[in-house]
């Protein structure tokens, strides 16, 4: 029973355009939401996060949106650059549960020149 779903295994976007990565969850107890980026042969790198009291957080080219009623999280990257090609994971945290993060399966983002 997957609590966190990233329904697009891969996404191809042209350089300079917007990349939108999506994440859906089922457990309303999650109260902190993170995005990680992973290159092959490296560990996940933290990108941006948002707490459940907000609906948007922005950091440079990266913006995370949270829709609590729809249990939906998205990451916008604009403009997309070739170095953004990687696997992106959403990771969710529930303060009332285990102290670990619950990850989605990831979306492989490919930026085309």
Partner 1 sequence: DAGVTQSPTHLIKTRGQQVTLRCSPKSGHDTVSWYQQALGQGPQFIFQYYEEEERQRGNFPDRFSGHQFPNYSSELNVNALLLGDSALYLCASSLEGQGTVTQYFGPGTRLLVL
Strand spans (E) along 1-113: 4-5, 10-14, 19-25, 32-38, 45-51, 56-59, 62-67, 72-77, 86-93, 102-103, 107-112
Taking the complex as a whole, how short is the minimal distance between the CB of residue 19 and partner 1, in angstroms?
Answer: 19
Rank residues 5 and 71 by Cβ distance to partner 1 and give the closer one.
5
For partner 1, the binding residues (CB under 8 A) are 4, 32, 34, 36, 41-46, 49, 89, 91, 93, 95, 98-106
CB 26 within 8 A of CB 71: yes
CB of 17 to partner 1, least distance (A): 26
Integer CA distances (angstroms), 21 to 5, 31, 46, 96, 99, in order = 11, 19, 15, 27, 25
Whole-number minimum distance, CB 94 to partner 1, in Å? 10
> Closest distance between partner 1 and the C-beta of residue 79, in Å?
25
């Amino acid at each position: 029973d997957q609590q966190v779903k990233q329904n697009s295994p891969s996404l191809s976007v042209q350089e300079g355009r917007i990349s939108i990565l999506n994440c859906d969850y089922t457990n309303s107890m999650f109260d902190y939401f993170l995005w990680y980026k992973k290159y092959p042969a490296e560990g996940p790198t933290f990108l941006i996060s948002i707490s459940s009291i907000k609906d948007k957080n922005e950091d440079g080219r990266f913006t995370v949106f949270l829709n609590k009623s729809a249990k939906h999280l998205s990451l916008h990257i604009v403009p997309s650059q070739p170095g953004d090609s990687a696997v992106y994971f959403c990771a969710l945290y529930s303060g009332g549960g285990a102290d670990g993060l619950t990850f989605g399966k990831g979306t492989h983002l490919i930026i085309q020149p």
